[in-house]
C-alpha cells in the first residue's frame, strides 16, 4: 500500500505530520505493510517550482494507492494570477485523478457535544456519512452562461444534468459505504420538481436489489435539510448530487461544532482516494502548534478503511481518538473549562500512545 502525503501550506504540514505518525503507529500494531512518500502541492509547490501542481507531484499521485493531503493556500499567494493560485493545485489533482465521489462523515464525539450549535441530546453520538457526487450535475452542466434576451434583459442559466452511468457509479459507492456502516441509505433528491432527480431516484431503485442488506429510502432535499437539524441521528448514509451535497454536507458538518474534527475523502472508480481534513490552511494559527490534528488523523483512518480495506486499523484509530478525548485532552479550538490544553504534537502523540 503506497501512500503519498501532500502536506501543502499553513497548518497543512503540522497536521499531516501527526496523521503520518498515527498511520505509522497503526502499521506497527497491525502489520499493514504501508509505505510512505511525500510531494509538494499548493503554495509550497509554487515557491519551489512556480506551479501549484508540478508534474512530478501528479506522477507520484498517479503511482500511489492513496493520498493524504493537508491543506493549501494562504495570504502569501493571494496576489498571484488566479490560474496559478495554490487552490488550483487541489482542483487540478481532483480532476486529473477522476475523483467523483466525495465522502464527508459528520461524527460528533459525545465528549464534544457541548461544542455543537444544537442541543447535546439532539446531537450526542451523531454519526452520519454524506456521499456527494463531485464532478457532475449543475456545477458542470452545459449550456451555462449569462445572455441578453431579444428584449434586452439579461438572464443567467445553468443545466442540471446527470447520466444514468454517473448516477449508478455514485450510487454504488454509497451502497458500499452503507454496507460498511449501519446498512441504511437515504437518497436525497427533488423528484417532485426536477426531472434530473426523477432519473436519480429511478437509478437508485434499480441498484437496490444488488444490495439486499441495505435499506434504501428517499427524501426531498428541503425535508432533508429540515431533518438534519431536527433529528440528525435518524440518518446513516446520505447520497445526493453535487449541488444538494455541497449544502447538506456543510450543514451536517457544522452539527459537530468544530472544523478541526472533520475528515473527508474523494474517491475514483477504483476506490483510490484523496483524503483531507475539511479545514483550510488556517494561516492565523500556522506555526504556533495550535492546530487540531484530529481531522487529519481521522482522514488517515478513512484512507485505511476506504482505499486499503483495513477497517480494523481504521476503527482502532477512531477509538484511540475517542480515548484521548475521554482523557480530557483538547486543542484550543475544542477546549472547554476543566479540560487539559494540548498542542498539535501532544494531541498526535496521545493518539499514537492510545493506539498502542
Residues noted as catalytic: 139, 190, 222, 246, 250
For 254-331, list the strands marked E by DSSP.
Answer: 263-267, 273-277, 329-330
Distance CA 118, CA 130 (A): 19
Q: Residue 264 or 307: which CB sits closer to ligand NAD? A: 264
Judged by CB, which is closer to ligand NAD: 197, or 264? 264
Secondary structure (3-state) at 160: coil
Q: Which is nearer to ligand NAD, 281 or 307 (CB)?
A: 281
- In whole angstroms, the minimum distance from the beta carbon of 277 to ligand NAD comes to 6
Query: Of 251, 254, 173, which Cα lies nearest the Cα of 207?
Result: 173
Q: Which residues bind to ligand NAD, rule: CB under 6 A?
A: 11, 15, 71-74, 87, 90, 259-260, 276, 279-285, 291-292, 295, 333
As measured in angstroms, the least distance from the Cβ of 292 to ligand NAD is: 3
We find the least distance from the C-beta atom of residue 94 to ligand NAD, in angstroms, to be 10
- The helix (run of H) or strand (run of E) holding residue 38 is strand 35-38
CB 101 within 8 A of CB 133: yes
Alpha-carbon span 278 to 71, nearest angstrom:
9
Rounded Cα distance, 192 and 213, in Å? 28
| Nine-digit cell string for 115 | 461544542
User: In 10 A of CB 141, how many CB atoms?
Assistant: 15
Cβ-based nearer residue to ligand NAD, 21 or 279: 279
Amino acid at each position: 500500500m503506497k501512500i503519498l502525503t501532500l502536506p501543502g501550506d499553513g497548518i497543512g504540514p503540522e497536521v499531516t505530520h501527526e496523521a503520518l505518525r498515527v498511520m505509522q503507529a497503526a502499521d506497527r500494531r497491525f502489520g499493514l505493510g504501508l509505505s510512505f512518500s511525500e510531494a509538494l502541492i499548493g503554495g509550497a509547490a509554487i515557491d519551489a517550482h512556480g506551479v501549484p501542481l508540478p508534474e512530478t507531484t501528479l506522477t507520484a499521485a498517479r503511482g500511489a494507492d492513496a493520498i493524504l493531503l493537508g491543506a493549501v493556500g494562504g495570504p502569501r499567494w493571494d496576489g498571484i494570477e488566479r490560474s496559478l493560485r495554490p487552490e488550483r493545485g487541489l482542483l487540478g489533482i481532483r480532476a486529473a485523478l477522476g475523483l467523483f465521489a466525495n465522502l464527508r462523515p459528520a461524527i460528533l464525539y459525545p465528549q464534544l457535544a457541548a461544542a455543537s450549535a444544537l442541543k447535546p441530546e439532539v446531537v450526542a453520538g451523531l454519526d452520519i456519512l454524506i456521499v456527494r457526487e463531485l464532478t457532475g450535475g449543475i456545477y458542470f452542466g452545459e449550456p451555462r452562461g449569462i445572455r441578453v434576451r431579444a428584449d434586452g434583459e439579461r438572464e443567467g442559466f445553468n443545466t442540471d444534468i446527470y447520466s444514468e452511468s454517473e448516477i449508478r457509479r455514485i450510487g454504488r459507492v454509497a451502497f458500499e459505504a452503507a454496507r460498511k456502516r449501519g446498512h441504511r441509505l437515504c437518497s436525497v433528491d427533488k423528484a417532485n420538481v426536477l426531472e434530473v432527480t426523477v432519473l436519480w431516484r429511478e437509478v437508485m431503485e434499480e441498484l437496490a436489489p444488488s444490495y439486499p442488506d441495505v435499506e434504501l429510502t428517499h427524501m426531498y432535499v428541503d425535508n432533508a435539510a429540515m431533518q438534519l437539524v431536527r433529528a440528525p441521528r435518524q440518518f446513516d448514509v446520505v447520497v445526493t448530487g453535487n449541488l444538494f451535497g455541497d449544502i447538506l454536507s456543510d450543514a451536517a458538518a457544522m452539527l459537530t461544532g468544530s472544523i478541526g474534527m472533520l475528515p473527508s475523502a474523494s474517491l475514483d472508480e477504483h476506490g483510490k482516494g484523496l483524503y483531507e481534513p475539511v479545514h483550510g490552511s488556517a494561516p492565523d494559527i500556522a506555526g504556533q502548534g495550535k492546530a487540531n490534528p484530529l481531522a487529519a488523523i481521522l482522514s488517515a483512518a478513512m484512507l485505511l478503511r476506504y482505499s486499503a480495506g483495513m477497517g480494523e486499523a481504521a476503527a482502532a484509530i477512531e477509538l484511540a481518538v475517542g480515548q484521548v478525548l475521554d482523557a480530557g485532552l483538547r486543542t484550543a479550538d475544542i477546549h472547554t473549562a476543566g479540560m487539559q490544553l494540548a498542542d498539535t504534537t501532544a494531541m498526535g502523540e496521545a493518539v499514537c500512545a492510545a493506539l498502542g
